[in-house]
Each structure stands twice: as structure tokens, then as C-alpha cells.
Amino acid sequence: MRVLHTSDWHLGRSFYGSRHSEVFAAFLDLLGNLIEDRKVDVLLVAGDVFDTVTPGNLSQSLYYRFLNRMSHSCCRHIIITAGNHDSPTFLEAPRALLRHLRIHVVGTPGLSPDDEVVVLQGADGSIEGVVCAVPFLRDRDIRSVAADESVDDKNARLLDGIRKHYQTVCDQAEEQRKHHPDIPLIAMGHLFAAGGRVGGDEGVRDLYIGSLAHVPLDLFPRSIDYLALGHLHSAQAVGGNPVCRYSGSPLPMGFGDANQSKKVLQIEFNGREPLIEELAVPCFQALRRISGDREAILIQIERLREQMSDAWLEIDYTGSVLQDSIREVITDAVAGSDLEVKRIRNRQAADQVLAAQQEEESLAALDVLTVFQRCLEQNDVPQGEWAELEHAFQEILHDLRFADRRAED
Ligand SMILES: [Mn+2]
């Protein structure tokens, strides 16, 4: 049995103000080709299919076109779980219809563990494997709230909730393979496993909100033969365990991970033993980060022009001379080429302005937590209290977001 593991497509994500649906379309074409060429039997998508809880029509159309193509392919099962970016109810809305195409969608943890167990059948109808399709677990899905609990209590309860959830679903899956001891048990998850590396522009803070817990690997039942994770955007085996993997996002999510090689993972099962192969996803849109003083920036742009590059650029001016005109200089330098400047950072100007007059900062350029930290600073809140206040603040943010989602759902 051949399985493909991917996650974090973030369909519809805009890139510094540009929508790049062609890139998403190119990726889904590639994925479809890989599945057909390699005769893949099962596709796992471990969360964050869409970037937002209300994906646009174009993103939805790409998604359904892909699923439609796959329903006519060799791929016998597609299992899609919701990530923290997805609306569980939006994903699940066409569930009954998709099930006829052997596409299983799990948005929220089910009332019964059966709802999260998918039995994989071979072409001849025999049982080939079992999947525990566990979606992103929200705080309130799994944790009972106690009065006056501390942050530590809360985390402990959250971890305990996650542990129990996996245990229940995996027990149910074990029940399915009782008479087939040689078939693999695959579990999915969208969470932050302890030992995972965060890199680039992942929006680390986002990853903590609502699910502060770093989930230790020993929390997962030993019956799992392969753990297919989503949430972190760089592909990796967690904590050196080769069968606990993040596939990572197949597309770069910002200039910060532009140099990472992006992947989808192929897992060939020999009995219960997974044989893993990383399949490279080519770069559909070149991204370049250029930094230096005026001279260095111009030389690098010239070089890219000579290569007829159509890269998107992020430019970081680090020269010691305050250059107000750096934007015009760069605009002139790329004029008439296919290069596209997405972002210019003028460190000198920024530092001076920040030092001189903090009020002049544009609020839009700061993230929410930074603003909150500024408030703590200005109100002389002792440093020792910051961690707990920040935690409480993030919890409120999470709840607000959840309420927004509910409203949108
Ligand atoms: Mn993600």
C-alpha cells in the first residue's frame, strides 16, 4: 500500500498582498500527477487545507476540481482533517457527498471514536490499513474546565485531553485490525509536537495560541505505525523519530522559508513497516531576500536581471546612511524587468523613527502581542508577571477568533 502524506496547503493565502492562485493550481496539478504516476493508493491531508475559515470561490473551485480528478484516479482513499486555519463545519459540509467518492473529511472530533477511524480497503476489498483521522483539537473539544485553575493545571488538562482522545480513537482502530495484525495503523494530527523545529515566517505566536501545549511524542499510543502530522511548515521527523513526521507546507509561506526544500512524503508499507521517501515539490514562484547597503542591493538586482529572473523580492536595506530615497532607487533598478518587489525594509529609517518617536509607529505594522507588550511596558508591570498576562491575553485572542469563526460558520 502506497500512501502520500501532505498538509498545510493554505489554499487562498495571499502573499504580501498578491493572490497567487496559479501557484496553488500548479501544486495541485503536480500532486495529481504524482498520485497517478506513482500509483498512490491513499492520500492524507493533515490540516490547514484552506488559509481561512471562509475560503474564496477560486480556492474552493481548485479544491473540488482536485478532488474530482482524484475520484477518477488510482487513489482509493483520501482523508482530510481540519487544521487550526480551517473551519471544521465548512470542511464537513459536503461530507456525506464526498464519502461516496471515498473522500473522508473530519472537521471536529466526533461524538463516537468511530467517526475518526477510516478503514482502508485494497482493490479487492480486503483490509489494508486503518487510519485515525484526528483533526486539530480545540481546547473546548477536549478539556473540562475547572474553576481557578492555573496555567500549568490548564496545560496538564489539555495534554491529558489530547492523550485520552488519541487513546480512545486508536483503541477503536485496534479493534478494526484485531483479525489483521499485519496491517499498519496510521494516525493523523494537527498540533505542535515537542521537539519540532519552527523556522522562517511561520508566525510562531500563532502556533501557540489556544494550544500552548507542546505535545510530547510519548503521549501517542504505541500502536501507531506512522504519525502523519501537520501544523509546522518545515518538513521534519520529530525528535529524531523517523515515523513521526511533519510533511511541512508544500509551498513557501513567506520569504523566511523560501530557501527550504518543500516536500510531500510517500510512505510505502511493507506489512506494518513504513518505508518513507521524500518527494521534492519544485519551486513555482522564485522568492529572493536581498539585503545589504545601496551598492550591494543594486549589484544583486543587476545579477538577477542578467539571469532574466522573475523572482519576487524582499529587500532589506541595512546600510549605515539614512536613505529616504531607497524605494525610488530600487523601483528604478527593477524597471523593465520581470522582477517584482514585494517588500522593502529600511532598517536605518525604522530604527531612527522608532528611537525618536514610538507614537509615530504605524499600528498596522505591529503585531497584536507586541502592542500588548508595549502596554505592559508603559504601565510598569513587573517583568515577572508578563508571562502569565501574555498567556491570558493570547487565550482571549483565541476565544475571540473562535467566536468569529462561530459567527462565520
Ligand atoms: Mn499551517
Whole-number Å distance between alpha carbons of 397 and 187: 30
Cell of 316: 532589506
Please say whether the beta carbons of 77 and 118 come within 8 A: yes
Beta strand pairing status for 241-246 and 262-270?
Answer: unpaired
* Cα 231 to middle of ligand 1, angstroms: 5
Bridge partners (DSSP) of residue 120 are: 129
**Locate cell 533598478: which residue?**
333
Please give the sequence-ordered ranges of beta strands (E in DSSP) within 248-338, or none if there are none: 262-270, 273-281, 287-292, 312-317
Please say whether the beta carbons of 215 and 190 come within 8 A: no
* Cα 366 to middle of ligand 1, angstroms: 21
Position 105 scores a pLDDT of: 97
195 vs 6, 104, 238, 245, 319, CA distance in Å? Answer: 20, 30, 6, 11, 37
* Cα 387 to middle of ligand 1, angstroms: 25
Share of the chain above pLDDT 70, in %: 87
Residue 154 neighbours by CB distance under 10 Å: 18
* Cα 10 to middle of ligand 1, angstroms: 7
267-285, pLDDT tens digit by residue?
A: 999 999 999 999 999 988 8
Whole-number Å distance between alpha carbons of 251 and 62: 15
| Residue ranges near ligand 1 (ion) with Cβ within 5 Å | 8, 48
- The architecture (CATH level 2) of 286-356 comes to 2-Layer Sandwich (3.30)
128-144, pLDDT tens digit by residue?
A: 999 999 999 988 777 66
Residue 70 half-sphere exposure, CB side, CA atoms within 13 Å?
A: 30
* Cα 137 to middle of ligand 1, angstroms: 14
349-375, pLDDT tens digit by residue?
A: 656 555 544 555 566 667 788 878 877
* Cα 383 to middle of ligand 1, angstroms: 31
Whole-number Å distance between alpha carbons of 356 and 362: 14
Whole-number Å distance between alpha carbons of 236 and 319: 36
Which pTM value belongs to this model?
0.81
* Cα 361 to middle of ligand 1, angstroms: 29
Does pLDDT of 90 surpass 50? yes
Q: Report the CATH fold assignment for 2-281.
A: Purple Acid Phosphatase; chain A, domain 2 (3.60.21)
DSSP 264: E
Beta strand pairing status for 226-230 and 241-246?
Answer: parallel
What values do phi and psi take at 253, rounded to 5?
-100, 0
Whole-number Å distance between alpha carbons of 344 and 312: 12
Whole-number Å distance between alpha carbons of 377 and 383: 9
Query: What is the phi-psi region of residue 55: left when phi exceeds 0, alpha when psi lies from -120 to 50, beta otherwise?
Result: beta
* Cα 202 to middle of ligand 1, angstroms: 8
* Cα 75 to middle of ligand 1, angstroms: 24
Start-to-end CA span in the chain (Å): 37
* Cα 48 to middle of ligand 1, angstroms: 5
* Cα 262 to middle of ligand 1, angstroms: 14
Whole-number Å distance between alpha carbons of 52 and 374: 28
104-132, pLDDT tens digit by residue?
A: 999 999 888 889 999 999 989 899 999 99
* Cα 78 to middle of ligand 1, angstroms: 19
